[in-house]
């Protein structure tokens, strides 16, 4: 397993839910963290008194190309390197095939797909230089199968899985490994309105964070391309 000592990880959407759980988990393990969120102050509050030498919080908007570039540049300027990128920021908007609401499709594509794409493209030189660069994309089981009418969300998450495999091919010879983590219902704000099952029966963010940490720590010769995580019995394929 790779030691976290000295390794720098960027985590998007780190102010709540899965992203905050990942930040807390990685902080406890000793990683140096660059945490991106639309509300950076809330990240600082949630993590408490974090040492600036080990943790920084940066205002970040996945829809904004300049914001993506500024976050990557700030991370390199502060820490001198990037060893891993966790693309967690994402949204869901209810829109189906017959809905004439392309704005919803566009917004999910911009945040769920193009945001990670931009960050990966910008961080790739540093990830290659690391020799053991890691990209973890938080997708969804909706990126592996379709069980409802929310076509727009599923399409964006299928695309994120495809992006993950493209990154694996691109960076393999330089030690870059990419993993798509695809959970079912997670007990976060995003699933707060769901009545599919009780909150306590959903995947807990802290448990998903453990899987992110595992993906970051696996050596180059034990790469995992996809992790499918469910909280109920289901035929996966």
pLDDT digits (tens, 9 = 90+) for 138-182: 999 999 999 999 999 999 999 999 999 999 999 999 999 999 999
- Write down all domains in the chain, each with its CATH number in brackets: 8-229 (3.40.50.720)
Please write the tens of the pLDDT for every residue from 175-216. 999 999 999 999 987 766 776 789 899 999 999 999 999 999
Q: What is the pLDDT of residue 114?
A: 98
The pLDDT assigned to 197 comes to 87
Chain center to CA of 101:
26
* Cβ atoms within 10 Å, residue 117: 16
Q: Which two tokens stand for residue 140?
A: 């969804």
Three-state SS at 87 = strand
Angle, helices 115-130/151-171, rounded to nearest 10 degrees? 20
Q: Of the residues 60, 71, 153, 158, which is catalytic?
A: 153
Could you tell me the pTM of the whole model? 0.96
CB atoms within 10 A of CB 175: 16
- Lowest pLDDT segment from 37-51, 58-72, 97-111, 118-132: 37-51
pLDDT score of 237: 61
End-to-end C-alpha distance for the chain, whole angstroms = 30
Burial class (CB in 10 A: 0-12, 13-18, 19+), 1: exposed
Interval 46-95: pLDDT, tens: 988 778 899 999 999 999 999 999 999 999 999 999 999 999 999 999 99
Q: What is the pLDDT of residue 203?
A: 97
- Count the Cβ atoms, other than its own, within 10 Å of residue 54: 13
Take residue 40 and report the two structure tokens written for it: 């950076």
Q: How far apart are CA 121 and CA 216, in angstroms?
A: 19
Residues in the chain: 237
Give the per-residue pLDDT at 196: 77
Beta bridge partners of 33: 9, 55
105 is known as an active-site residue: no
Specify the pLDDT at position 191: 67
């Amino acid at each position: 397993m790779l030691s976290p000592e000295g390794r720098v990880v960027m985590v998007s959407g780190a102010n709540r839910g899965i992203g905050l759980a990942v930040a807390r988990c990685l902080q406890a393990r000793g990683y140096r963290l660059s945490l991106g969120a639309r509300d950076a102050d809330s990240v600082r509050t949630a993590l408490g008194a974090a040492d600036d030498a080990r943790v920084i919080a940066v205002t970040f908007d996945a829809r904004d190309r300049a914001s993506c570039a500024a976050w990557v540049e700030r991370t390199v300027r502060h820490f001198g390197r990037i060893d891993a990128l966790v693309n967690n920021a994402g949204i869901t908007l209810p829109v189906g095939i017959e809905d004439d609401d392309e704005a919803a499709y566009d917004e999910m594509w911009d945040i769920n797909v193009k945001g990670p794409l931009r960050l990966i493209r910008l961080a790739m030189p540093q990830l290659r230089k690391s020799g053991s660069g890691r990209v973890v994309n938080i997708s969804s089981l909706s990126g592996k199968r379709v069980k409802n009418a929310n076509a727009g969300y599923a399409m964006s998450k299928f695309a994120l899985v495809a992006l993950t495999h493209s990154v694996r091919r691109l960076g393999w010879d330089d030690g870059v490994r990419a993993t798509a983590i695809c959970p079912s219902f997670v007990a976060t704000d995003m699933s707060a309105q769901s009545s599919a099952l009780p909150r306590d029966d959903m995947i807990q963010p802290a448990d998903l964070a453990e899987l992110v940490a595992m993906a970051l720590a696996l050596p180059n010769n034990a790469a995992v391309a996809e992790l499918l995580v469910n909280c109920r019995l289901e035929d996966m394929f």
